[in-house]
A and B are shown apart, each in its own frame.
Chain A
């Protein structure tokens, strides 16, 4: 709690956050709710203007994103693109919300209490909440939601892998008891994502989705547009401010920006970095810019030569001139990475950033018998900045005597696990995850679905499990530090930047606070209002 408190106070001073602040304090008191220091990026975020003028209600908020074509859906089990996530957060509610500074606040769950070794949790739900169809929100809905996530193809499946789904118990209308397979002191951190929002008991086909969220489903054409109206009974009093919200699918970044500049939309996610630089100068739109724990990386499969030798991996981590990569590939919208995931999250280990040191890299490679090395770096334009970063890295590698040839793979196959993804020995990735622990579960555990560095170590899995089970913040800090130390010394990741989240909104859109967690202030349309 200490350390985060002052920061929270600073962020929740705005009038529209007073309620959640109060509930948050009520929730935190007397429970095991652990909040880490969220102050790493604090000062950047705090510069976002606090709204002091009276809120103006009404109007239609039109937001555009890169779409996912025909596969767009309101079904949280399926949708994983930006536009899907935007819809999930605004039609439904998560159990736990993440504040712009990465601290947590109650969503549909008010409090989380657990037994001594955190293997049994009680989730205390918010009373008096109704679904859009008028049915009350109860423990049955949460149990149904968790069970639906038991399907391994559910995008949010990993959140329940540690839960004994058959033993979920309704204690009363607003309390659910959860038994875990192994201790987890940060269970609530797993229920902050768009894919882990609460659906209604019995919901199956999502043709006319029903949630508890700030907006009520109206119409939806995948790949084009969704239209939802204000939920007049929303539990967060007085919100949302706009009468309706539309999400539009505009794939081309330039067309998306043009739509914003011409007033055909009011806000957009994923502003091109170079365009962001231009419009920060011209100030004709709001550039919504927040540092975040999301990262760009180059990964090495530790079971494939030459990366089996840790000296080679260490040498490669000395190759990139990280500042130059950030300037060249992402127009400066990032901070230097220290080869670890989760800057800004609780328990992130602040080990020093490795310098650009080609001489030392050369010496390490020579010691490993790998001088004059030739490798192929696989890249793709699936994520903006990848190809540029790969090209720059290849140039910087020359100084260390390494010949890197850059191979561009098809964007549609790059993240396809049946062909390329997790099968490449030297490639790039982009990561966002809801906590340090979540990332280790997804990327580094032996059986992690996206174990791209092929890091398989039973002993290490046990270390992650012990850290996950840490009973208090102090122990967690120490144990996660040990876990991260191993990755820092021996891992297959070159995490060269923590990349900013950069979006845009028209100047008349108020209530937009940059969030380190996710786009457009955490998809927080309930707090947006139109001053036009």
Chain B
């Protein structure tokens, strides 16, 4: 696929609708990135040792049976052809069949198997995001406006401590506190197949808190840095010298410009959530896409691994575009600069 590069387009349209043009370019480069990712994902899964045929048949299978199963799964075709079929399938909405289905002698399309898991992971990530943004803004601004004072030290030091802990440590500590000591919350988040976590909000608390702790710390620090930097800028000084109340200065002038780097951090954090969620889902046995991915890797279900990987990549790229777009909307200077 050839993505038209910005240079090819006529400059007039750029000038007329800079925002739209920016958006189009970002989407097209996003798609190009996705294409590159698809090649990388495919290549990476190709070099995984072992294949689905021998994995699902077990250790007593004869070479003959493995060969038959390989043929049934289409693993005997050349790599380029398989890549083409996979990509074509994704573009036409046909994600293919999972290896587990072949093992039981029937067909098991991938989409119905992963859609509930995607929804569960999305719900968890959304809960974390919805909490992370207001909390990190509040804490970050608080620390920034009290820079150098005890409140700032408390927030900065504790966020530094938390950000340096891996998720499984945070999660285990939360389990010890909220289950072993206080016996308030369930230490595992078991859901019956097909059940939504929204029906059991208690099960979401500890996984969400773990992810929140891991992401909140980083974003709070970034918001703090951003606000402090803006507070030092000339226009804020000017506003302060003009006698505007501090609260007004922060909310009306500083925050909006400080938000630009923060939005980028939020974007990064959401992308990070997709990775962190795999660890947290395992820790709490939460039935999300992370466990699905681990299970698929275990039986070398290459097609499903590739599909999940590309969906995650697409999500990350999407979040990136949204974040970039928001930044441009927030900072007028960037909008006019592109024209």
Contact = CB atoms under 8 A, between A and B. Distances in A.
Interface of A: 68-71, 73, 75, 78, 80, 152-153, 155, 157, 204-207, 219, 221-225, 248, 250-252, 255-256, 258-259, 261-262, 264-265, 410, 412-413, 415-419, 421, 449-450
Contact of B287 (A80, A224, A256): A224
B27 interface: no
B56 interface: yes
B interface, size bucket: 35 or more
Contacts of B50: 412-413, 416, 418-419
Contacts of B99: 70
A71 B61 contact: no
7 contacts: A70-B301, A71-B56, A155-B58, A204-B105, A221-B193, A224-B193, A250-B190
B65 interface: yes
Contacts of A155: 58, 60
Most buried by B among A70, A78, A264, A413: A70
A262 B187 contact: yes
A70 B287 contact: no
B4 to A, nearest CB: 41
B98 A416 contact: no
A412 B297 CA distance: 10
A157 B60 contact: yes
Contacts of A416: 50, 54-55, 59
Given A69-B295, A153-B62, A251-B282, A222 B100 contact: yes
Given A153-B62, A255-B285, A71 B103 contact: yes
Contact of A205 (B60, B105, B193): B105
A68 B296 CA distance: 10
Contacts of B49: 410, 413, 419
B330 interface: no
B106 A78 contact: no
Contact of B188 (A68, A262, A415): A262
B253 interface: no
B39 interface: no
B285 A259 contact: yes
8 nearest A-B pairs in the assembled complex, by CB-CB distance:
A69-B295, A70-B100, A221-B193, A258-B187, A259-B188, A255-B285, A417-B59, A224-B193
A238 B106 CA distance: 37
B60 A225 contact: no
Interface in B280-339: 282-285, 287, 291-292, 294-296, 298-299, 301
Contacts of A71: 55-56, 100, 103, 298-299
A416 B48 CA distance: 14
Contacts of A419: 49-50
A199 B196 CA distance: 35
Contacts of B190: 248, 250, 259, 264-265
Contacts of B81: none
A403 B294 CA distance: 37
A70 B98 contact: yes
Contacts of A413: 49-50
A78 B187 CA distance: 33
A415 B285 CA distance: 25
Contact of B104 (A75, A157, A223, A251): A75
Nearest to A252: B282
A222 B296 CA distance: 12
Contacts of A153: 57-58, 60-62, 65
B66 A418 contact: yes
A531 B100 CA distance: 38
Nearest to A224: B193
Contacts of B98: 70
Interface in B80-132: 98-100, 103-106
Contact of B59 (A70, A258, A415): A415
Give the residue among B50, B57, B186, B295 with the most A Cβ atoms within 10 A.
B295
A262 B296 contact: no
A421 B50 CA distance: 13
Given A70-B103, A224-B287, 4 more contacts: A78-B103, A153-B65, A207-B106, A259-B285
B103 to A, nearest CB: 6
Contacts of B2: none
Contacts of B193: 219, 221, 224-225
Nearest to A151: B65
Given A153-B60, A416-B50, A70 B295 contact: yes
B179 interface: yes
A225 B190 CA distance: 10
B175 interface: yes
A341 B40 CA distance: 48
A157 B100 CA distance: 21
B186 A205 contact: no
A13 to B, nearest CB: 38
Contact of B62 (A78, A152, A265): A152
B182 interface: no
Contacts of B287: 224
Given A71-B100, A204-B105, A255-B284, A264 B186 contact: yes
Contacts of B106: 205, 207
A205 B108 CA distance: 13
Nearest to A219: B193
Contacts of B47: none
B100 A225 contact: no
A69 B299 contact: yes
A152 B60 contact: yes
Contact of A261 (B187, B192, B194, B294): B187
B168 to A, nearest CB: 10
A68 B103 CA distance: 13
A250 B188 contact: yes
A75 B193 CA distance: 20
A432 to B, nearest CB: 15
Contacts of B175: 258
A416 B61 CA distance: 10
A206 B104 contact: yes
B104 A250 contact: no
Nearest to B104: A73
Nearest to A265: B190
Nearest to B282: A252
Contacts of A421: 59
Contact of B179 (A69, A250, A262, A265): A262
